[in-house]
Amino acid sequence: MKLKHVLTTCVYCGCGCGIHLVCDGEKVIGSYPSGNHPVSNGALCVKGWNIYEFINKSDRLTNPLIKENGVFKEAKWEKALSLTASRLKEISEKYGPDSVAFLSSAKTTNEENYLMMKLSRAVFKTNNVDHCARLCHASTVVGLAATFGSGAMTNSIDEFEEAEVFLVTGSDTTAQHPLIGSRIVNSVLEKNAKLIVIDPRKIELSKYAQVYCAQKNGTDVAWINGMMNVIITEDLQDKEYIKERVDEFEALKELVREYTPEKVEEITSIPKEKLIEAARIYAKAKKAMIVYAMGITQHTTGVDNVKSLANLAMLSGHVGFDCTGVNPLRGQNNVQGACDMGALSNVFSGYQKVVDEAARKKFEKAWGVENLPDKVGLTVTEIIDGAATGKIKGLYIVGENPVISDPDSTHVRKALENLEFLAVQDIFMTDTSEYADVVLAGASFAEKDGTFTNTERRCERIRKAIDCVGTSKADWEIICEIAKRCGYDGMNYSHPSEIMDEIAAVTPIYGGMAYDRLDPWGLQWPCPDKAHPGTKFLHKGKFSKGKGTFMPCAYKPPAELPDKEYDFTLSTGRVYWHWHTGTLTRRTSTLEREAPEAYVEMHPENAEKLKVRTGSLVKVTSRRGSIDIKVKVTEEVVKDSVFIPFHFKEAAANVLTNPAVDPVAKIPEYKVCAVKVEKI
């Protein structure tokens, strides 16, 4: 039998690597990198090399399930779809449109995220729609939109190869975004680029850093202000750039005046000499790139952290040019695209605000409806809280697993139990789907067409390689069927390319996108028309909103700090071998073999005091719950802090985490909470 090789896009991190799936009849039997893809360049991380394994797992959902007397039974599609549509519609009519909510997914395509927000708004007349960007980069969207006018990565991945300086903070890049991490390492080793790493953990990149600083968790605003204090004190700011392109310099200068290196050392534990050295290296460079991820965003001060990094970049004139900028590395494969598509509580696609009457009129006309809701809806955490209090009665979740991914898991479980109706759409049974009344069997990325948008704003194709497993359906088809059963006839598409055409018609930054233009490597937005080649880096000549704005932020401590009883600081994150809640990677034997169980990283001094060693079992307890977990003794964490990967449901880190949120972005504070550790 002749093997078929299908070019598509990886479904893990935001790098958006190009991969070929190798198909043997009905199955995908292998994967390998695209040699010419602008991100992959002939390489993949271990997850990409083994991406085909989960597609063929025997526990794939192949038919819809309906829960009867507490037991799931296979059902025909007609019954499952009709039940889902009728129950959601019944709840909406009985309690009002805002009694239902929709969770979309950074794992599904742009087209499917667009349809989810269209279903929520056009069919059910509620803005209660959100997705996991709320849990990872909501701070980025808010912070960079305020300072620059656009809440996305400013530059491109290939520019990492020519930068002179990297400032990496809150990003374990080689583990979370390996193809980007390797570019940074190669630039340091082969091109003498300088690397500054500021992170509470001694990550892999710190080995290559000219300056490495371990700040106390949650003190980022202080050290960023401290760097700006040094730059202004030593007159290293780009005066001409500031004069021409940025407002509110005097306000910034006034605020950072008090953040002297000495004061910053008291707050952050960063030695003043290292802070001064880092500031000088960054400010004096011609091409300096700031790189960050969730270690910056997942705080109650996440928006302030992002604004502060934007301030630092503008102060030094490092925005709007090749190999510069502020570059948030988006977590999941399509978290950028899901935001772009308006799977958020406050915006339509292209970040057009739901409170803007002109935007509503535009979408009413395009969708053939009237009276689109005009108030901002509930976010992910607010939807869960609403379910707990009875405000939210019906919930439709596509491709998300909030029982494992959301903070304070015990609270999430109780909230889902309190719903009158829950529909979950996924490719496997998850901890969340166990609470569902209906489980809808979706198709994997290998079984459908569509697009993802990666961290550098590159909208690129995924291509159908095999037929759907069993009777499972592509997510876009399921969403359209539900809309039809609710009496809405505005979702009649024969192929995802038609959905993209609609997206382009109503979304200016995607205006020039069409499937024939996305072959082979996609286009980077903004791409306003069919003649436009896409945009390599943002803010060239001027910021998206005209002039940039310095937005000075004062340091505020985290919501929960250690005390005598809870004397450790917990942070959570990812490891190289696994992804998110483990739904896919823990069904991949190669990856599960390398990292089969949860662990808590602990400094040797703390381990000695507790009389534990690597492999010892301990109980980690916060004010919200406790887990039993094995110890990994390492100097990668600083004394009196611990780190737990959140991939493992057997010892779920989010049983412990604090649901306190940033007041603006509503992102939870995953990176700082107080715990105690006891030997078992």
DSSP string, 412-438: HHHHHHT-SEEEEEESS--TTGGG-SE
Q: Answer whether 186's CB lies under 8 Å from 309's CB.
A: no
Question: Is residue 115 predicted with pLDDT exceeding 90?
Answer: yes
The strand pairing partners of 329, in sequence order, are: none
Cis peptide before 659 (omega within 30 of 0): no
Distance (Å, rounded) from C-alpha 422 to C-alpha 463?
30
Q: How far is 418 from 416, CA to CA, in rounded Å?
A: 5
User: Residue 145 burial by CB count (10 A; 0-12/13-18/19+): exposed, middle or buried?
Assistant: middle
Q: What is the DSSP letter of 634?
A: -
Q: What is the CA radius of gyration of the chain?
A: 24
- At 610, is the pLDDT very low, low, confident or very high (cuts 50, 70, 90)? very high
Binning pLDDT at 50, 70 and 90, where does residue 580 land? confident
Tell how far CA 48 is from the center of its chain: 18
pLDDT tier at 331, thresholds 50, 70, 90: confident
User: Do residues 525 and 538 lie in contact, with contact meaning Cβ atoms separated by under 8 Å?
Assistant: no
Q: In Å, what is the CA distance from 34 to each residue of 44, 335, 484, 502?
A: 9, 22, 39, 29
The stretch 200-209 carries a mean pLDDT of: 96
195 Rama sector, left if φ>0, alpha if ψ -120 to 50, beta otherwise: beta
616: left (phi over 0), alpha (psi -120 to 50) or beta: beta
Q: Whole-angstrom Cα distance, residue 346 to residue 243?
A: 33
Q: Rounded to the nearest 5 degrees, what angle is found at the Cα of 112, between the Cα atoms of 106 and 114?
A: 95
Q: What pLDDT, on a 0 to 100 scale, did the predictor assign at position 406?
A: 82
If you average pLDDT over residues 169-193, what whole number do you get? 95
Q: Where do the H-state alpha helices sit in 101-247?
A: 110-118, 133-136, 138-147, 173-176, 178-191, 220-233, 239-245
Tens of pLDDT along 283-300? 999 999 999 999 999 999
Query: Which tens digit of pLDDT belongs to each residue from 558-578?
Result: 999 999 999 999 999 988 888
> Which residue from 404, 497, 522, 501 is spatially nearest to 15, judged by alpha carbons?
522
Report pLDDT for 647. Answer: 86
Q: Name the pairing type of β-strands 658-661 and 668-669.
A: antiparallel
Question: Alpha-carbon distance 344 to 293, whole Å?
Answer: 20
Residues in the chain: 680
What would the two tokens of residue 54 be? 């989960």
Q: Rounded mean pLDDT of 575-595?
A: 85
Q: How far is CA 280 from CA 228, 237, 251, 261, 573, in A?
A: 10, 10, 22, 13, 30
DSSP 77-115: HHHHHHHHHHHHHHHHHHH-GGGEEEE--TTS-HHHHHH
Q: How many CB atoms lie within 10 A of CB 375?
A: 11
Per-residue pLDDT at 619:
97
- pLDDT on residue 407: 83
The pairing of strands 421-426 and 129-130 is: unpaired
3-state secondary structure of 512: coil
498 pLDDT band, cuts 50/70/90, is very high
Helix (H) or strand (E) holding 31: strand 27-33
* Mean pLDDT (the chain, rounded): 95
Phi, psi dihedrals of residue 295, rounded to the nearest 5°: -65, -20
Element spanning 20, H or E: strand 18-24
Closest CA to 313 of 328, 302, 330, 298: 328
d(Cα 196, Cα 191) in Å, to the nearest integer? 15
Q: Which domains does the chain have, with CATH numbers?
A: 4-56 (2.20.25.90), 81-135+333-421+442-524 (3.40.50.740), 138-329 (3.40.228.10), 568-679 (2.40.40.20)
Q: How far apart are CA 450 and CA 153, in angstroms?
A: 22
- C-beta separation of 664 from 604 below 8 A: no
pLDDT in tens, 233-261: 999 999 999 999 999 999 999 999 999 99
Secondary element (H or E) of residue 194: strand 194-198
Integer Cα distance of 198 and 180 in angstroms = 17
Calculate mean pLDDT across residues 166-189: 95
Cβ neighbours, 10 Å, residue 497: 17
pLDDT (0 to 100) of residue 536 = 96
Q: Mean pLDDT throughout 221-230?
A: 98
Which ranges in 341-408 belong to alpha helices (H)?
Answer: 357-367, 380-389, 402-405
Residues in Cβ contact with 497 at an 8 Å cutoff, skipping those fewer than 6 apart: 449, 514, 515
H-only helix segments in 368-427: 380-389, 402-405, 409-417
Query: What token pair was written down for 425?
Result: 């759409």
- Of the listed ranges 347-351, 421-425, 434-438, 656-660, the least confidently predicted one is 656-660
pLDDT at 583: 80
Top-confidence residue, 309 or 40 = 309
Task: State whether residue 675 is helix, strand or coil.
Answer: strand
Residue 135 clears pLDDT 80, i.e. is over it: no
The one-character DSSP state at 136 is H
| DSSP label at residue 649 | G
pTM above 0.85, yes or no: yes
Does residue 206 carry a pLDDT above 90? yes
Q: What is the DSSP letter of 517?
A: G
Across residues 575-591, what is the average pLDDT? 84
Confidence of residue 340 (pLDDT cuts 50, 70, 90): very high
Q: Where are the beta strands (DSSP E) in 237-370?
A: 246-247, 288-292, 326-328
Q: In sequence order, which residues have a C-beta less than 8 Å from that of residue 180 and are 6 or more positions away?
A: 15, 157, 160, 173, 291, 329
